[in-house]
Amino acid sequence: MSASVVFIGGISSVFFGMGLLYLSIKITAMITARLTGKRKENLS
């Protein structure tokens, strides 16, 4: 495999991976906020 393919593929994959992680953090935060909110409603 040529160095330029590794170079471009590498950088873009790192950003793609971190982007996925960013989305997962956002989605997890949304889900937990909703679950926690519902539990509070039930308690009240």
Which residues of this chain interact with other proteins, rule CB under 8 A? 1, 3-7, 9-11, 13-22, 24-26, 28-29, 32-33, 35-36
Minimum CB distance to other proteins, residue 38 (Å): 13
| Tally of residues, the chain | 44
Of 14 and 41, nearer to other proteins (C-beta) is: 14
DSSP-H helix ranges across 1-44? 3-43
Hey, is 24 helix, strand or coil?
A: helix
Count of CB atoms situated within 10 Å of the CB of 30: 10
Minimum CB distance to other proteins, residue 33 (Å): 8
